[in-house]
Structure formats: structure tokens, C-alpha cells
Structure 1
Amino acid sequence: MKEIDARGLACPAPVLQTKAAIELEGAVDIQVTVDNPAAQQNVQRFMESKGFSTRLDSEGGDYHITGHAAEGAAGAPTSAAAPAKRTPQDEHQRIVVLCATDRLGSGDDVLGRKLMINFIKTLKEMGPDLWQLIFVNNGVKLAIDDSPVLDELKAYEADGLTILVCGTCLDHFNLLERKKVGTTTNMLDIVTAMQLADKTISL
């Protein structure tokens, strides 16, 4: 069994080490140890995206994610957040909206928050071209329990929109347990999504 000790490593290092073990070394049995829940969620989700069955054990502040490859696992998508590259038959754009803040503009925070609320509520006008909504840094506060746009985000997700929320950012603000919408993600998924997108809108 391939064993990886990724304790103390910042995102996305635990996922990248797991990726290298699976894709470059061909590991079919792997155990990754991390020391925070954001890394645990990201590593476990990555393994499962590669076709691995997983088991989670915790001990003290450590998380041990054990994975076993199913037949054909190596052909699974590289990122849980991003599907295969575009084909000529695709009729819609892939627009990624990257929110690194919970307000729009600078000068007046109250106005900025109102503008962001209106922006999120109006995103539905993009229709099926809106592909992924990604929250990083202060933007993750829009995905927690007291978010003024939580209902709208839940509705978007229910309609099929992929919403990614940075796990490192949630952990930094001590908000991991308060996230109520979207998938806890890592920089590998974010970079992959931006690479495959036709357009990225950054706020």
C-alpha cells in the first residue's frame, strides 16, 4: 500500500501528492493522512473521482483516507469539479464566475454588499452558459449559514450549477462547519475549471 503523510501541508499539496501516486506511480491501494477536515474532504473526493472506493478513519486530529482502485479507475476524470473537454456538439458556453469577495467594488461596504447580493441573484440571467460558481477568500462567506444569498445559491445548485467553495479559505475563517451550499474544493479543481472554461469572470 502506498502511504502518504500530508500533515502540515497547505492546499493543494495533499491532493497533488495523491494525484501523483495514482496517475504517475499507478497506486491501486493508497492511504493518505492529513490533519484538517478541508484536506480530508478534498483528498477523499479526489480519490472517489478517480474511481477509488474510500474509507475514512480519524485519530486525534488526524484523518486517514484509505482508497482502493476499482477496475478501470485510471480512466476516471482528473478533477471532480471538471468534466471532459468541450466537444463540437456543446451548444452553450462554459462561463466560470470566480468570487473572491462578499461585496462588489470599494468605497462603501454596505453598498458593496448590496451590489453583490443583486449580482448573485441576477446570475440566473446567464442561463445555461453559467457553468461553475467558485468562491475563494472572503467570497466563501456567501456560502455559509447566514449568507443573504443562501436560498438563491441552493436553488442554483438544485438546478445543476456546480458551486465550489475553497476549503483552505473556509478553514482560515473557521467557517468549514458553517458551509451550507456547494462542494468544498481545492486549488487543483479551481485551476482545472478555469482551464476548461470558455470565459472566467473574476470579482
Structure 2
Amino acid sequence: MNKIDARGLSCPAPVLETKAAVESRHPEHIEVLVDNEPARQNVVRFLESQGYQTRTGRDGGSFSVVGTGGDPAPESKAAVPLTDGAGKKIMVMVAADCMGSGDDELGARLMINFIKTLKEMGDELWRLVFVNSGVKLTITGAGTLEDLKAMEDAGLSILVCGTCLDHFALLEKKQVGQTTNMLDIVTAMQLADKVINI
């Protein structure tokens, strides 16, 4: 079995090491050791995107993610699924829980209004990505949660930085979106026709 010890590595290194092993050796079995929940989720999601069946074990502060199967010679698969539409693909990256600077209370209200209004972009809104304190908009009690859930239910892909959730100790409070890593975010940026940073 191919074994990767990615403990102590920060995002996106565990996924990148796993990706390199899968692409170079196409192992039938692979085990990846990580030491945090976001890395575990990201490795599991990547392996499953490559056709592996996964199981996770835990020993103290470490997780063991074992992948079995996989494609013998996987075709190129993005961890972030592609769109089927022929329209423009706009990615919006939200890096703060309030908009602008000067008054945080006003900024928080502006951000709620911004999220509510995003649906006006229609099908061109392809990915909504939350990083840094922007992840606070995806948790229990956030004033944006109802609108984000409605957009996700309507088919919008929402990505939420796992490292950021972990930093703010909010991993268990996330209520919407897919916990993701920097590799998926960079891939989404490459695939997007336009990236808007907020």
C-alpha cells in the first residue's frame, strides 16, 4: 500500500501530495495520514473524485484515510466539477464577513445585502467561495445563511475554506457549502471566466 504521512503539513499540501501519488503511481490502495479535520475531508473528497472508496480511522490527533480502488489510469478529473452550461462562469470570492472599512456594523449590513443581491447574477454566478473571515457568513446564526442555503439548493456551488474554518474554530458550525482547500479554489479560479474579489 502506498502511504503518505502528511501530518504537520498545512493546506493544501496534504491534497497536493495525495494528488501527486495518485497521478504518478495510480495505486490500487493508498493511505494518507493527516492531523486535522479539514485535511481529512479534503483528502477524502479528492480520493473519491478519483474513483476511490474511502474509510477513515482516528488515533488520537491523527487521521488515517485509506483509499481503495481508483481508476487504473484515471482521466483528468477536477476536484471542482465543471459546468455544463455554455454561459459565462463568474466566481465570487468573499474574504471578509463585512464589506468595506470604516464601520463594521455598516459593513456587516452591506454584506448581507450583497449576498441577497447575488442571485441577480443568474446562471453566470458559477462559484461562491468563502475564505478568511468570510467563512463566518456560512455558520449557524449568520444573517446570510438563509440566502446562501437557497442559492445552494438552486444549484450554486459554494466552497468554504477548511483551513479558515479551523483557524476560527468554526468547522462544526458550518451550515452551508462544501469544505474545501486551496487547490480546489485555485482550480476554480483557472476555470472561471471572471473572478470577483470582495
TM tier relative to shorter chain: over 0.9
Pair 1:83 & 2:78 matched: no
For the residues of structure 1 that align with 2:157 and 2:112, how far apart are their CA atoms? 19
User: What is the correspondence of 1:66-145 to structure 2 with a 5 Å cutoff?
Assistant: 66-71=66-71, 74-75=74-75, 77-79=77-79, 81-83=80-82, 90-145=85-140
Contact 2:160 2:180 in 1 (8 A): yes
Amino acid at match of 1:29: H
TM-aligned CA deviation for residue 24 of structure 1: 1.6
The answer for the alignment partner of 1:7 in structure 2 is 7
1:199 is aligned to 194
The Cα offsets for residues 147-169 of structure 1, whole Å up to 9 and x where unpaired, read as 10101101111011000000000
Q: Distance in 1 between matches of 2:35 and 2:120?
A: 41
Matched residue SS, 1:107: coil
Residue aligned with 2:39, SS: helix
**For each residue in 1:117-140, what CA deviation from the matched residue of structure 2 results, as whole angstroms up to 9, or x when unmatched?**
000000000000000000000000
Cα deviation code 1:19-67 (max 9, x no counterpart): 0000022222100010110100000000001111111111111111000
Aligned length: 198
Q: Secondary structure at the match of 1:75?
A: coil
How far apart are the structure 2 equivalents of 1:14 and 1:138? Answer: 23
- 2:161 aligned to which of 166, 170, 176: 166
CA apart distance, 1:68:
1.2
**Partner secondary structure for residue 10 of structure 2:** coil
Q: Tell me which residue corresponds to 1:57.
A: 57
Aligned residue for 2:150? 155
The alignment's TM-score, normalised by the length of structure 2, stands at 0.96
Letter in 1 for 2:22: I
How far apart in 2 are the matches of 1:139 and 1:73? 38
Does structure 2 retain, via aligned residues, the 8 Å contact 1:77–1:83?
no
Unaligned runs of 5+ in 2: none
Instruction: For 1:134, give the aligned amino acid.
Output: V
Deviation track 1:72-114 (CA, whole Å, cap 9, x = no partner) reads: 56125132x2327x8xxx4311000000001111111111111
Deviates more, 1:67-76 or 1:35-44: 67-76
| Normalised TM-score (structure 1) | 0.94
Deviation (angstroms), 1:71: 4.3
Looking at structure 2, the residues matched to 28 and 70 of structure 1 have their Cα atoms a distance apart, in angstroms, of 6
Note if contact 2:138-2:176 (Cα within 8 Å) is conserved in structure 1: yes
2:138 partner amino acid? A
Give the counterpart letter for 2:188 in structure 1: A
Secondary structure of the equivalent of 2:74?
helix
Task: Measure the CA separation in 2 of the matches of 1:73 and 1:125.
Answer: 42
CA distance in 2, matches of 1:174, 1:95: 29
Residue aligning to 2:175: 180
Partner of 1:28: 28
Distance 1:41 1:73, change over 3 A: farther
